[in-house]
Structure 1
Amino acid sequence: MRFHADLHIHSKYARACSKDSDLEHLTWWARRKGVTLMGTGDFTHPAWFAHLRENLVPAEPGLFRLREEKDREVSRTLPPGIASAPVRFMLSAEIATIYRHDGHTRKIHHLVYMPDFDTAAAFNRRLGRIGDLSTDGRPALGMDSRDLLEITLGSGDGAYLVPAHVWTPWFGVFGSKAGFDTVEECYGDLSGHIFALETGLSSDPAMNWRVAGLDRYRMVSYSDAHSPPRVGRETTVFDTGLDYFAVLDSLRTGTGYEGTVEFFPEEGRYHLDGHRKCGVRMSPEETRAHGGICPVCGRRLTVGVLSRVEDLAVRPEGARPDGAAGFLNLVPLPEVVGEILGVGPDSKKVRGEVDRLTTALGPELAILTDVPVGDIAAHSPPLAEAVDRLRRGAVIREAGYDGTYGVIRLFAPGETEKTDATAEPTPPTLFDLEDEAAG
């Protein structure tokens, strides 16, 4: 079975996350996007853990589904073609470790997965002796990353850890501010138990392929969604049984691992170097020429992902290791429609148009990746042109830096004004979008 997985999300109990980040909204948006397997996020938080236990029921091995009565209510407001699509959950959490190592403060984020509630409860009890898990859905604990991995592995069979958004300057294992140069430096004698790395929004597999030391890891991509509408903005594609242990085996061995759906890395918030307060954005070459110093204020620049990749790269741009799985760079459908309509992606006009398109053509990821362009053109010629360009990578890129999202455009200024891109919108769904607080 081929499916999209998004195994890094957050609940309403995580700091700066939407109050709508509950199981019902996550299920609704997973169906709308075309995501089959979701992480629960935040299972370390006591209130969210209790909510998960009350509202999820066992499905396939290691997976869970929403209780039937709640699932029916969710499906009621979706188009018939996607209302019954299966959505499964696996227990996931993001944990920050903050500690001193070799004279430097390290701040590393990790994704942890558990196959059942009993194993997760044992893990939570161990962590609860180290810090207060009730303060944030993504707890920050004063412990070494290696020790977190040891506790994960000791919690039970099938528990595993994936370093999160590995290149992010402030919180990635390779980050310029608080990270390391190798996985081995971070996890020590247990580093052999790391088999997958999350690329993060500001990098894609092609960038990671330049670093030979990463060849043995599976590159995974997930949304890190802080609100349900952001679900599925990055996914990992599997062709396995819908089963926790089948996914785990796929990540370990590569069998059934089909690759990833990615942001264009320039759209991520830390792709280039810069200083947001001064409006300074620099390429790695420019940063080196300035000695890493902001030419406006004289302070150190935030060194982004591309620079860190180049620091560690031993291969030229465009190199690809033998056997590396492929990937596809996309722009979320609301952003594409918003550009066509000349309004923001969270506007009611965009919501209505995306409702119309998903009713006619299926979930958003299918529209962007699989639906024939000719079929899209029957419902929106401008969207068909945009999707064709997107699939060919023919986009206009304005790279993000120092916490500022980049912008990816499909059309040059004035192009969309030459076509009638509008359609009569349908009424908004029961599940209205909320402004995203962060992410």
Structure 2
Amino acid sequence: MVSLMRFSHSILVICLITFTVSCTGSRIIKFPNKVDTKDKPIVLQHKQVELVTDIGVYVSNDFPSARLNNVSVKNDSTLVLRIQPENEPINNSAYFAFKTWASNERDVYFQFSYPKGYKHRYIPKYKTADRGWVQVDSAVFSIKDTIATLKFRVLKDTTVIAAQEVATSQDVKDWYTSISKKNGLVTNLKVIGKTHLGKDIPMLDIYTEAATNKDIIVLLTRQHPPEVTGYFAFQSFLETILQSGELTDRFLEKYRVLAFPLMNPDGVDLGHWRHNAGGVDLNRDWSKYRQPEILAVTHQIEQTIKEEGVKVLLGLDFHSTWHDVFYTNVERENTNLPSFVEDWFAQLEANIPNYKVNEKSATSTRPVSKGWFLKRFNAVGITYEIGDETPRDFITLKGKVSAYEMMKLLTNSN
């Protein structure tokens, strides 16, 4: 027992002294602005189906990805929905999702209430059993003096009302399992780790024939749970890479894609605004890898590079924000793809009708993924942001064109 304790103490000392490499094998990267990514307490919602007898309406948060903390009656036609984040401090991503139905159809006013310092962000969407997601009309939704109110016809059948289209971990799994089976000759589905709550951290390993001697392209999304528009772009991007054809064949003969379709399954299913089950923003943990999701992903990339002796060329991290924007690193000339950003953006503008790239370039001072790709691998790191309300057909088009033009550039195709 004494020998084991001494051995463990020695390992701890080595890990503390050799701070440039973590004890898990991922190299620690220093950023000027440090962020504490140790676990922090979260407040779970009380899951329930509530009958609001004064109005005769049922309201429920008893499903994956729901976010509704409390319901109160304001008057005989208005319900106040209290929406709170999983913990604080947190950015203003005031996500909500609930189900509602009534014994008899009736109009109800849903008024959204948030803690001090936060305000309504998303235009509500709704979905019924026989109809896909629809964004509510401006005639029934308004924000006045920071108070957001939705007038809604509650039906006998259940309606889901949410900030964004609900895409649970099971929904995402159904999608990536389907495309993996469909493209089984080039796609290998792996579980690379587990989250705080024991959920799978999936990866799609994509290449043709042998995996050896192929430089790496990394794709990832859903670090932040509500950011489904970025996920939609990721879906379109990846599906385009997997389309059979001469360009795809040439691309996958030369490169290997590591795609991570769900970085934060715990946060997604818990209905979190921003954080994982550890109460942490995953896109601030790309330095010391304290959270299991980031640790698993960075370890997998590091292990692949070490085993194959290849390079990471490009890392694309798909997110959502108020409007479409690409966040890039200032440093490019000495990266593995020094002209990629300018060439790729030029091709997007040339091939998407009436489109102008919105680029914001800066030095990554906090431990985010795009800075990690640059500092760790000298790779091009880009945060691919899609607007909350960007038209969904345009998201699909942009994802398709951006994947196609990336493959053309990297295979030197005309």
Shorter-chain TM-score: which interval? under 0.3
Structure with more helix by fraction: 1
Using the size of structure 2 for normalisation, the TM-score is: 0.26
The structure with the largest alpha-carbon Rg is 2
